[in-house]
Chains A and B, each alone.
Chain A
């Protein structure tokens, strides 16, 4: 007896969030990794002010103390290089905007 053909599967009536025109270029998992790694490095440089408070949330974990010390040292080094200034300037500008009446 011939095999019964599979029932046709209807495609769902939902639109893709990212339109097909944007699936161009050479996007690959390696390029995704490269973008994330470079992005994380740049973020560590320009957002170093938040690293110590983030590392405090690791309290209780075996490597917490080392991470906290490293975060504080890294932040000090970025401050010495003047790389924390854009972060501080943006924060203080927004603080002023919040207090403005």
Chain B
């Protein structure tokens, strides 16, 4: 069930009706949200609801066990077992096929005759996200950053809450669980949620979908059939597409959570205006980059054990971040590029003159360099496999005289529109939402209905799944 569909609208209408009918009964509301979330998840494959339930039970019981012991060594063992169990689950469903194929390829190279049996494992939607939620909870309890969750209902809702279940943002236990302790004492920011939903719909349905079908998909499917200009424009288009696709999803997730009475953290902050690669990661998929920083980079030693170890930790963190996105060498390469880039940037930071350039020209040049580095890495991320990515890059060397074949004026316009959005005043939506705040509910409903109908008419037939659903 995708957000921008009529099916989801009917589903959310039912949820909203139940929440409204329950009034002040907070526990009953949480129960409704858990049932709704499992129903939402079951729309992909109901069998995987048991996996989600198992992951929630594992986190819950590990939390109770951590709370019941004061001994540091035992706590460490419990944390280790819980994290290992979560990772085993993720590894089985997400990486088993990749490792089997890689091991068999290596065996063939070495001339070995025996091969590991290949089991085609179906990837459960959202497993990467709810696994990270589970790890976040047990680690936060271990560190004392969050109180032990003693209400099974709260744990079920934390792990399964439908707005973030399949593609994030990754909401920390220390951020979300306190919200389940008592009802929010603030009003629901309906106008802000509406603006986020409409903006998200436009980014996904119009910008991302057209760029995907009109330029990115055909060029990446056969890069050797296109010349340099189309290849370059398709990479720019993918940079805009993936931003509009993923940020649209999180905008809608944030808005839906707000309409249910919960707060979510910010996940994007105009990432392509970054002047340093480090800054890019402070603006892109913030919930993942901070998760990797706090649960991987810092435990590895962060920047506390000398320069060489810092570079190594950056590389390891980003390599694992790349693998988190998917099982494949192209993701390993994407992670290695970012990890290597971050390490090199740190190495040359004294020559760069600090975290931000002071002159206007310096800022422009820095932004252009970082953007193009990120675009280069996106080639590996988007290409079907590592070989296609190398063919794509090789294509830049020739075919510049043939002109543009695939990228029409509308595609170029959509790329430009997506890029302009990166440089508009920060939080443009705030004054718009503030203006809508005084409207009555029916007025907001009419505005929403007309705007959604217009966006729907502007978009192509059907809705492509969000890119991050497959991670």
Binary CB contact string for chain B from 181 to 217 against chain A (1 if under 8 A, 0 otherwise)? 0000011111111101000000000000010001000
- Complex CA distance for A50 and B4, rounded to whole angstroms: 13
Residue of A nearest to B144 (CB): A7
The answer to whether A39 and B452 touch across the interface, beta carbons within 8 angstroms, is yes
List A contacts of B31 (CB < 8 A).
Answer: none
List A contacts of B145 (CB < 8 A).
Answer: 9-10, 12
The answer to whether A32 and B254 touch across the interface, beta carbons within 8 angstroms, is no
Q: Which one of A10, A21, A90 lies within 8 Å of B454 (CB-CB)?
A: A90
Stretch from B11-19, B127-135, B300-308 that touches the partner = B11-19
The answer to whether B441 and A35 touch across the interface, beta carbons within 8 angstroms, is yes
Apart from A29-B20, A43-B453, A54-B7, what 10 extra A-B contacts exist at CB < 8 Å? A31-B188, A34-B442, A38-B441, A38-B446, A38-B448, A45-B453, A49-B457, A51-B6, A100-B408, A101-B408
A-contacting residues, B432-460, CB 8 Å: 433-434, 437-438, 441-442, 444-446, 448-450, 452-454, 456-458
Q: Which one of B17, B187, B461 lies within 8 Å of A33 (CB-CB)?
A: B17
The 23 sampled A-B contact pairs (Cβ below 8 Å) are: A11-B174, A17-B250, A17-B267, A22-B430, A25-B190, A27-B189, A32-B20, A32-B188, A34-B441, A35-B445, A36-B16, A38-B448, A38-B449, A41-B445, A42-B445, A43-B448, A43-B449, A46-B454, A49-B457, A51-B6, A88-B457, A91-B457, A101-B409
List A contacts of B65 (CB < 8 A).
Answer: none
Q: How large is the interface on A (under 10, 10 to 19, 20 to 34, 35 or more residues)?
A: 35 or more
Is residue A47 within 8 Å, beta carbon to beta carbon, of the partner chain?
yes
Residue of A nearest to B143 (CB): A10
Stretch from B76-84, B258-266, B325-333 that touches the partner = B258-266
- Complex CA distance for A28 and B259, rounded to whole angstroms: 9
Is residue B146 within 8 Å, beta carbon to beta carbon, of the partner chain?
yes
| Interface residues of B, count at CB 8 A | 70
The answer to whether B189 and A87 touch across the interface, beta carbons within 8 angstroms, is no
The answer to whether A12 and B189 touch across the interface, beta carbons within 8 angstroms, is no
The answer to whether A98 and B408 touch across the interface, beta carbons within 8 angstroms, is yes
List B contacts of A42 (CB < 8 A).
Answer: 445-446, 448-450, 453
The smallest C-beta distance from B136 to any residue of chain A, in angstroms, reads: 10
List B contacts of A43 (CB < 8 A).
Answer: 9, 448-449, 452-453, 456
The answer to whether A12 and B147 touch across the interface, beta carbons within 8 angstroms, is no
Is residue B287 within 8 Å, beta carbon to beta carbon, of the partner chain?
yes
List A contacts of B9 (CB < 8 A).
Answer: 36, 40, 43
Main secondary structure on B side of the interface with A: helix
List A contacts of B434 (CB < 8 A).
Answer: 21-22
- Complex CA distance for A10 and B19, rounded to whole angstroms: 31
List A contacts of B19 (CB < 8 A).
Answer: 29, 32-33
List B contacts of A91 (CB < 8 A).
Answer: 457-458
B-contacting residues, A1-30, CB 8 Å: 6-19, 21-30
- Complex CA distance for A8 and B144, rounded to whole angstroms: 8
The answer to whether B441 and A14 touch across the interface, beta carbons within 8 angstroms, is no
The answer to whether A23 and B187 touch across the interface, beta carbons within 8 angstroms, is yes
The smallest C-beta distance from B266 to any residue of chain A, in angstroms, reads: 4
The smallest C-beta distance from A43 to any residue of chain B, in angstroms, reads: 5
- Complex CA distance for A9 and B178, rounded to whole angstroms: 10
Inter-chain residue pair count (beta carbon < 8 A): 193
Is residue A97 within 8 Å, beta carbon to beta carbon, of the partner chain?
yes
Closest 5 A-B residue pairs measured CB to CB? Answer: A42-B449, A38-B445, A27-B188, A46-B453, A39-B448
List B contacts of A22 (CB < 8 A).
Answer: 189, 191-192, 430, 433-434, 437
The smallest C-beta distance from B441 to any residue of chain A, in angstroms, reads: 4
Is residue A37 within 8 Å, beta carbon to beta carbon, of the partner chain?
yes
The answer to whether A46 and B410 touch across the interface, beta carbons within 8 angstroms, is no
Is residue B290 within 8 Å, beta carbon to beta carbon, of the partner chain?
yes
The answer to whether B188 and A28 touch across the interface, beta carbons within 8 angstroms, is yes
Q: Which one of A24, A50, A51 lies within 8 Å of B187 (CB-CB)?
A: A24
Q: Which one of A10, A28, A47 lies within 8 Å of B174 (CB-CB)?
A: A10
The smallest C-beta distance from A58 to any residue of chain B, in angstroms, reads: 9
The smallest C-beta distance from A87 to any residue of chain B, in angstroms, reads: 4
List A contacts of B16 (CB < 8 A).
Answer: 29, 32-33, 36
B-contacting residues, A46-77, CB 8 Å: 46-47, 49-51, 53-54, 57
A-contacting residues, B267-298, CB 8 Å: 267, 286-287, 290
- Complex CA distance for A30 and B444, rounded to whole angstroms: 13
- Complex CA distance for A51 and B187, rounded to whole angstroms: 34
Q: A9-B145, A22-B434, A54-B6 are in contact. Are A17 and B254 (CB under 8 A)?
A: yes
Residue of A nearest to B453 (CB): A46
Most buried by A among B6, B187, B193, B448: B6
List B contacts of A88 (CB < 8 A).
Answer: 457
List A contacts of B410 (CB < 8 A).
Answer: 97-98, 100
The answer to whether A18 and B263 touch across the interface, beta carbons within 8 angstroms, is yes
The smallest C-beta distance from B137 to any residue of chain A, in angstroms, reads: 12
Q: Which one of B23, B214, B267, B444 lies within 8 Å of A35 (CB-CB)?
A: B444
The smallest C-beta distance from B445 to any residue of chain A, in angstroms, reads: 3
